[in-house]
Chain A
């Protein structure tokens, strides 16, 4: 039965405007970056060619690679934290009635639609040296000097988790929701205690959602620029910050492009690992 009776030509016509846009704003920029990453940058002059200078520099200058791995480490910490905090929320949502669920969803989704700046501002006001927490603790006499809650890994992780937690909760919820409750009921009727039911039935079956959520949060964390800048100052340096610095302060496009491609590579590897794991889990 021909339900989809739009001819190939007409269908393509509908996709054309967006495709043209994407070529201009997506493909060409990426291709340009790719080409530039192989260019040479010497005394403010960029020569296009096939030079591996940028990549060599990245691999050998000691700093870039170090910061790259720091970014990866940071992203992993963020992802893990999101998982630990997000799983209970997803479970809660799943077990809640429809009305409660909608409300929880509102609280989970609305941070997503709030400006990252706003959320970072909120955290600065709470964690800063003269922020809410330090103010309170000092005025209560619990501490005499402000606690370093910002400008370090702790502050960055806290704020980024706050920003991306929802991206973990939603896929988790979707996966949990698709688990048939009768499986868990069967397990408990066979004598399994609630913890065992969770470990042997719920958790394994929610693995696809866990992986989807972790992949998503990892990718987002690797590429986040703003929050580490605001919450980490110059004390926490990430790859995106290096990229920004290379371009806007040193006008070194080739180097920035190479680092951007490194970032994409890390993400691509993550996606491949994740899909391999997914396939292994579905065996």
Chain B
């Protein structure tokens, strides 16, 4: 159990920077996810930690030792690949034993450790099978077992669930997280799937074009994005650009595309350009009641998409922008009068609007 530190890690290919100055500290036992679109440098970063790519500059500390120049086989990392990379010519047992054999464990120790880890991943009866005889999920667990049995300083996973179907994927996410917590092993996880990142991580590192955009807990990343990129990457959202027009001690008014929105002040000052994010699930859509003084914004439904458990509306505010709303499929949100071209009232709780100072 130790610290993993990436200090200003960079990788250049000629004039192109695949990774540009990454700074990250992984605490012992922490599950950190590198999240971003393809080409953002997350896999390159992971492979630098593993030792397959030599950084152009920067430092990498694993367990108090600087790993720059150290070949992969001398780093104590456990790597799980997307395609599992199980040795096809070896049994499950021999696959898992491999790392221990490289460590020159005695046969007795090897047998014991292999049996233990097989128990943990619940594959004890399959130890003499060949990888080709296993299902995708089973192969995944063998790959995990193989990486964990050598007790690495850090577990590295490169989109390990990409090849699995949805149900299996969801299941494996939970299993992996439980296992990781139980063994208390520092983990660096790479994915482009925000659901995965949100559900599994202690912290998420959002990356784009080789740089870190934001590091934080899942709740922070989702609810308090520091940039428009992060906000729009993490699921659907409404992002409106506007200007701050009035401030009070802890609140501010932002004018955006014809409507005035009230937000928590944060650090806003009058005349600041600001983008505001409104998560579609935080907007309430209600019927218009003539003569009522309910606060909100009037608009017309432009489209309605039925998604099973969620109903998605696009509403064009009167004199304002188009807003996306996600509502649970309940009688309130899926009211029979909510049809295209009908008028509705949108109400926004004050903390539903989040200002992003890019």
Residues in chain A within 8 A of chain B (CB atoms): 1-2, 5
Contacts and interface: CB of A to CB of B under 8 A. Distances in A.
Nearest to B53: A2
A37 B44 CA distance: 57
Q: Is the interface of A mostly helix, strand, loop or mixed?
A: loop
Q: Is the interface of B mostly helix, strand, loop or mixed?
A: helix
A48 to B, nearest CB: 49
Nearest to B11: A2
A80 B22 CA distance: 65
Contacts of B47: 2
Nearest to A3: B52
A5 B11 CA distance: 14
Interface of B: 43-44, 47, 52-53
A1 B158 CA distance: 13
Contacts of B43: 1
7 contacts: A1-B43, A1-B44, A2-B47, A2-B52, A2-B53, A5-B52, A5-B53
Contacts of A5: 52-53
Nearest to A2: B53
Contacts of B44: 1
Nearest to A5: B52
A253 to B, nearest CB: 51
A271 B47 CA distance: 45
Contacts of B53: 2, 5
Contacts of B52: 2, 5
Contacts of A1: 43-44
The 7 closest A-B pairs by CB, nearest first: A2-B53, A5-B52, A2-B52, A5-B53, A1-B43, A2-B47, A1-B44
A11 to B, nearest CB: 15
Contacts of A2: 47, 52-53
Nearest to B43: A1
A200 B47 CA distance: 52
A112 B109 CA distance: 53
A185 B47 CA distance: 48
A2 B52 CA distance: 8
A5 B54 CA distance: 9
A1 B47 CA distance: 10
A6 to B, nearest CB: 11
B198 to A, nearest CB: 27
A193 B240 CA distance: 67
A265 to B, nearest CB: 42
A5 B50 CA distance: 13
A1 B13 CA distance: 10
